[in-house]
Amino acid sequence: LSPQRLSSSPLFPYTALFRSDSLTGIHNRRYFQDRLKAEMVRLNRTSGNLSVIMLDIDHFKRINDQHGHAVGDGVLQELCKRISQRLRRTDVFCRLGGEEFMVLCPHTDGEQAYSLAMELWTSLRSAPMEPVGIVTASFGVASWRVDEGIDGLLLRADSAVYVAKQAGRDRVEAERLRA
């Protein structure tokens, strides 16, 4: 069903269930993938900018192991609250799964996305989350390149998160530029 037909459907109140993560209330992976595809169509038609910010909570398994899953769930909810408060209306924030999240940033170049990621990183670690203390995350930033598909963009964001993890975690890394 198209979004227009779906909104007039008797199933409309339930559509949010298919687009949202039940624990955090933010968008889910399915919604993110749909929006990313739509943005790629827009870019191929009109050009412009698009960036993604991927983040992965550092040592999340340790939080669950030491404090229990209920506290871990609370950490995920608080992280979503802090990140959401810093995003622009045009940004799309979603939970990919577990402790991994993505921000889709339409009309945003790499430098702007990196600045936003730094702001998100700062807001996350600005105050402790009771009872676990300061929670950190590793961030990766990538920007769309002409003639690039979805997989290439996401792979570069994921690689930047990997670089952040390997460099000691609790940092923002941007994609490596082509030589």
pLDDT single digits (tens) 93-147: 999 999 999 999 999 999 999 999 999 999 999 999 999 999 999 999 999 998 8
**Beta bridge mates, 97:** 100
pLDDT confidence of residue 148: 86
pLDDT single digits (tens) 164-173: 999 999 999 9
pTM for the full model? 0.89
pLDDT single digits (tens) 13-37: 555 557 899 999 999 999 999 999 9
pLDDT at 2 over 50: no
pLDDT band at 44 (very low <50, low <70, confident <90, very high): confident
What residues contact 44, with CB distance under 8 A and at least 6 apart?
none
Please, which contacts does 160-165 make with residues 24 or more away whose CB atoms are closer than 8 Å?
160/54, 161/54, 161/55, 161/56, 164/138, 164/139, 164/140, 165/56, 165/58, 165/138
Q: Are 74 and 81 in contact (CB under 8 A)?
A: no
Is 100 tagged catalytic? no
The residue that leads in pLDDT, 2 or 26, is 26
pLDDT confidence of residue 10: 55
Q: Which residue type sits at 57?
A: I
pLDDT confidence of residue 41: 92
Total Cβ atoms within 10 A of residue 139: 28
pLDDT band at 1 (very low <50, low <70, confident <90, very high): very low
Q: Which of 39, 78, 99, 175 is catalytic?
A: 99
pLDDT at 179 over 50: no
Q: Are 172 and 141 in contact (CB under 8 A)?
A: yes
